[in-house]
Chains A and B, each alone.
Chain A
Amino acid sequence: MTDARLQWRKFVSNFMLTMTGLCALVSVSALFFILGYLLFNGGTSINWAFFTQLPKPVGETGGGMANAIVGSGKLLLAASAFGVPIGFLGGIYLAEFSGGFVAAIVRYAADLLNGVPSIVIGIFAYSVVVLPFKHFSTLAGAFALGLMMIPITLRSTEEFLKAVPSNLREGAMALGASKSKTISTVIVPAAYRGILTAILLALARVAGETAPLLFTAFGNRFWTNGWTTPTASLPVMIFTYAVSPYDDWHRQAWAAGLVLLGLILIINILARTILSRGIAVPRS
């Protein structure tokens, strides 16, 4: 009697634990499923022209996305130039200078900003950059992407600076270094690997963002000169090509998807394994 009951409990235990393992397997296999499909469909459609040519006019097959690749690069460059300094220096203030109250407000604002849906960031960038200049531009897109980099950079800079052992700080102070000298020559160098990892992860995250670019960077089927005109970008190209009715565009959407995902995963893997060896990477 009790034996049967025990058998049953053991069976339930083993069954449910197997089920949880199955859940984990299904979730992780989604990644390999995605990768496999992209490699298969993208790998067969990718070619040299994809990297070197402009998009062909509608109706003609062939062509590539050279302008979108360069456009994405420019957007990310400008976004980093805007988002990283604010996040980095703001993070130094939080970790080294601030009292409790101001820090709490800044942290709260950063967390709030981090949770804003990307499409709403797009609306914001539209109303403060696109409307005053009266046209879509690389800068507007970069503003939107940079905004999304700020909270990640800020919070992780703060965390990594705070994780620097206090005897390093005290040692520098004891030698007579000023606070700013201590920060710039001792504390930041000690934490730079963690901070760099976080910045790379932030970059990888915004590299695939599409929604904030739809009405800021817009799109362009030609080369973009300078920073104040609409520009093509890989994510937006994937979107437009995937929902189009042309087979050749679908093919190119797969190729672009493969390039984009490959880039993002490589940055992620590099940042998480090589750069951050021995450092706990905070999750955004």
Chain B
Amino acid sequence: MTGSRSFLARLREGDEIARLVTFLFAASVVLITILLVYELWVNSALPRHKFGFHFFVTSVWDPILDQFGALPFIYGTVVTSAVALLIAVPLGIGAAIFLAELAPPRISDTLQFFIDLLAAVPSVIYGLLGVFIIVPLMRTVIAPTLIKTLGFLPIFRGPSYGVGFFTAGIVMAIMVIPYIISVSREVLLSVPRDQREAALALGSTRWESTWKVVVPFAKTGIMGSIFLAMARALGETMAVTMVIGNSPKIAASLFAPGYSIAAVIANEFTEATGDLYLQSLVYLGLVLFLLTFLLNGMARLLILATTQKGSKVTA
């Protein structure tokens, strides 16, 4: 009895209306997300049925003959991301260790502020700098030096045009470093203080306590930051499109021009004629979505596991 009266009272005061309105807005976020997955799925039906698994293992991309194989793009995405991570992971983790373990809080916060600004630089600006600075530098300095010194490796062989997998990897590396630093720093800071103090008390040097105690403690979280960076790298579009060379070929040389999944969508989507062509590009988008979905999910679990481990030990 009182229930219905208080319900009416609350209704009059607007609580139920406020609840309903805010609920509708919150629910729309879920609906939009479901709609996104649905649209990607439905709009890629043609190539899914026509090519099936062959889509991922064939390398002919010919809109005129209606033949679509995504292997060159997948290869390009994987190779450029690998190059990017090989450069960004050591640099990023090193910097994170410095910020979390060594630098005084004031300096650490100031540097972190700059890192946050670096993360805010848009992708197209990185592309602009890539086109006009890194590409010429690659053609005239970096590639010739590497060919001369490490030319016995097949990945450093062949002519360099400036654009290519390696250039794209370098630009991508600069872009993902801020993410690795920010997340790794936070994870390292969540390692309980007594872990460090115990190691130092046992006579280890500062580096030994960092490398043998703190970093292993934070290992899963740091892995999480790497997965996060990988997800960013896979979905990175503009900067890569501008420096990868846009040629759908698979080449062993890192200096050869290539293509990536995101770049081919960016370049060909507006020009795609015919349903199969367009839907093949949407299919590539679906693949990209699923990959980043998996990587982000894993990253979140790993980071959560580490930070909770830290708070559990302290408590």
A and B are interacting partners = yes
Contact surface of A with B, Cβ cutoff 8 Å: 9-10, 12-14, 16-17, 19-24, 26-28, 30-31, 34, 37-38, 41, 85-86, 89-90, 92-94, 96-98, 102, 105-106, 109-113, 115-124, 126-128, 147, 150-151, 154, 178-181, 183, 201, 204-205, 207-211, 214-215, 218, 235, 238-239, 242-243, 250, 253-254, 257, 260-261, 264-265, 268-269, 272, 283
Per-position 1/0 for B98-130, Cβ under 8 A of A: 110111000000010111111111111111110
* Binary CB contact string for chain B from 284 to 303 against chain A (1 if under 8 A, 0 otherwise): 01001100110010001000
* A-side contacts of B205, CB under 8 Å: 9-10, 12-13
Distance in angstroms between the alpha carbons of A144 and B15 in the assembled complex: 32
Q: State the Cβ distance, B124 to closest chain A Cβ, in Å.
A: 4
With both beta carbons as reference points, the residue of chain B lying nearest to A243 in the complex is identified as B242
Set of chain A residues within 8 Å of B210, measured between Cβ atoms: 17
Closest CB-CB distance, A106 to chain B, in whole Å?
5
* B23 proximity list for chain A (CB < 8 A): 93, 97-98, 102
Asked whether B231 is an interface residue with its Cβ less than 8 Å from the other chain, the reply is: yes
- How far is B231's CA from A181's CA once the two chains are assembled, in angstroms? 42
Docked CA distance A115–B10 (Å):
38
Considering the complex of A and B, which 7 residue pairs feature the smallest CB-CB distances, nearest first?
A: A208-B122, A117-B235, A23-B94, A93-B22, A178-B13, A13-B207, A13-B205
State whether A128 and B265 are in contact (beta carbons under 8 Å apart), knowing that A27-B178, A115-B293 are contacts in the complex: no
**B residues 1-40 in Cβ contact with A at 8 Å:** 10, 13-15, 17-19, 21-23, 25-30, 32-36, 39-40
Closest B residue to A158 by CB, please name it: B26
Instruction: Add 11 more A-B contacts to A17-B207, A30-B177, A106-B29 (CB < 8 A).
Output: A17-B98, A38-B129, A86-B28, A86-B29, A94-B26, A109-B32, A116-B292, A123-B269, A178-B14, A180-B13, A208-B122
Nearest chain A CB to B16 CB, angstrom units:
9
- Closest approach, in angstroms, between the C-beta of A16 and any C-beta of chain B? 5
Name the contact of B124 in the complex, choosing from A10, A128, A183, A239 (C-beta under 8 A). A239
A124 proximity list for chain B (CB < 8 A): 35-36, 39-40
B214 within 8 A of A: no
What are 18 A-B interface contacts by the 8 Å CB criterion?
Answer: A22-B94, A27-B115, A89-B22, A96-B22, A97-B23, A98-B26, A115-B231, A115-B293, A120-B285, A123-B40, A123-B285, A150-B29, A210-B123, A215-B269, A239-B242, A243-B131, A254-B128, A257-B128
User: Across the interface, do B128 and A90 meet the contact criterion of CB distance under 8 Å?
Assistant: no
B contact set with A: CB distance below 8 Å: 10, 13-15, 17-19, 21-23, 25-30, 32-36, 39-40, 43, 90-95, 97-99, 101-103, 111, 113-129, 131-133, 174, 177-178, 181-182, 205-208, 210-211, 231, 234-238, 241-242, 262, 265-266, 269-270, 281-282, 285, 288-289, 292-293, 296, 300
Known A-B contacts A9-B205, A120-B288, A272-B113; A180 and B14 likewise in contact (beta carbons under 8 Å): yes
**Majority-rule SS of B interface residues:** helix
A20 and B39 within 8 A (CB):
no
Interchain CA distance A23-B97 in the complex, whole Å:
9
Q: Which residues of A contact B32 (CB under 8 A)?
A: 109, 113, 147, 150
Decide: A179 near B124, CB < 8 A? Known: A13-B208, A90-B25, A117-B262.
no
Report the minimum CB–CB distance from B302 to chain A (whole Å). 14
Write the chain B residue with the least CB distance to A218: B270
A34-B121 contact in complex given A90-B22, A283-B182, C-beta closer than 8 Å? yes
Whether A119 pairs with B118 at a CB distance below 8 angstroms is no
CA A201 to CA B266, docked complex, whole Å: 25
In contact, B288 and A209 (Cβ under 8 angstroms): no
Q: When A13-B207, A34-B121, A106-B30 are in contact, do A23 and B128 touch as well, CB less than 8 Å?
A: no
Task: Let me know if A264 and B120 touch, CB within 8 A.
Answer: yes
* Cross-chain contact A214 with B39 (CB below 8 angstroms): no
Interface pair B122/A210, CB less than 8 Å apart = yes
**B111 smallest CB distance to A (angstroms):** 6
- Complexed CA–CA distance, A78 and B235 (Å): 25
Query: If A109-B33, A111-B300, A243-B242 touch, does A250 touch B132 (CB 8 Å cutoff)?
Result: yes
Q: How far is the CA of A257 from the CA of B123 in the complex (A)?
A: 11
Within 8 Å CB of A150, what residues of B?
29, 32
User: Contacts of B238 on A, CB cut-off 8 Å?
Assistant: 210-211, 235, 239
Query: In the bound complex, how far is the Cα of B36 from the Cα of A140, in angstroms?
Result: 15
> A205 to chain B: which residues have CB within 8 Å?
120
B246 nearest CB neighbor, chain A only: A243
By a CB distance below 8 angstroms, the chain B residues around A31 are: 114-115, 117-118, 121
